[in-house]
Structure 1
């Protein structure tokens, strides 16, 4: 019997999910900023600033930004003088990022088409690994976390920014109504793509809880793990160290 995994609220054959996710992001790549603004009310920009401050990038250290195709995190890391490799499974997303980098006059980022579950990089290649709003789209999250651990140097740090489930009473119900009913309609209006936006909302609901995901990070070999909830856990920053 074939293994199944979640694709939004549906369970699909594990072998199909990567292609299905790739198709979603191929369709929305050109409207990615609009997508994030629609899903977060524009707050994603502040969350990403805060996330990069937590990463605390330093001059000349090697950082892998996974699922970072459009460059949002990489551009912020680059300001500190870090040597950033931007990796994404989706070539259309990488193309958007490269075009944005060109417009900003940034020509020293490395761009690489990669599957988070099977990275081509050597063991102990990076000082830090970042992934923002990408890990919930991976077919086997445990494999991606083990790969993150593998490519980090000893003393390297892992940082993940991801939507989660807010625990604030009242706000949770309000956000559920907004995301389930309004976000897909905004997707149709802004990008003529209601289905992709619906999947993205559903994928948040199927993502492990904050304590569950922290356990997965520990199981991958990371220590000193932390979770920093934002807006009661609507978004969370997860971190850990490789020693």
Structure 2
């Protein structure tokens, strides 16, 4: 028998390796609180690479005293069942504040995806019922806000409030795409949520784009491949969050 890290281990049996994917925690939020920058809002977005539908951002302020959901993580690491579980926990949590921000298809085409991302993030922060002392944003770019803003690369995998925002944004956008997709059943938006899957591209070639599609993202299709371009059929207005 041998001691390793305070635990008894049988000789010849390697210790269990720690997870290579540590869960997001609140080190950033606690450090900033000690610096007098509280509360902290985490912000993330979803839908940047989609061919159709809005870009959605969420801002979340998590109380430091609450116990985190065991599945809280970057939304891309979670299946739909776990995302829904985390989202239900989040919106029902006493003391939590969250806001949702949309950037429409028209705004994405007008301002490009980066400009639309900054717009949606700003709207999400402004939608918070509580004003944050500091905002943490996933990625390299952050919107100009009246409070201090820090951009954290990989923040959705490291920071609990950003991870919560990533889940809320993803669930909100998925529900939105599923709902409006009922008006365009041939496109299967409930399956791919507007992303460029093979069946989505095939539907575009067969039926042409809908008002949900981003004109600036369809350069891959030639004019001959698109039967019609109904861009003047009316704007699609974002609907509310969960």
Query: Does TM-score exceed 0.5, indicating one fold?
Result: no
Higher CA-based Rg: 2
**TM-score normalised by length of structure 1:** 0.27
More helix per residue: 1
Identify the structure with the greater strand proportion.
1
TM-score (norm 2): 0.27
Relative contact order, higher structure (CA 8 A, sep 6+) = 2
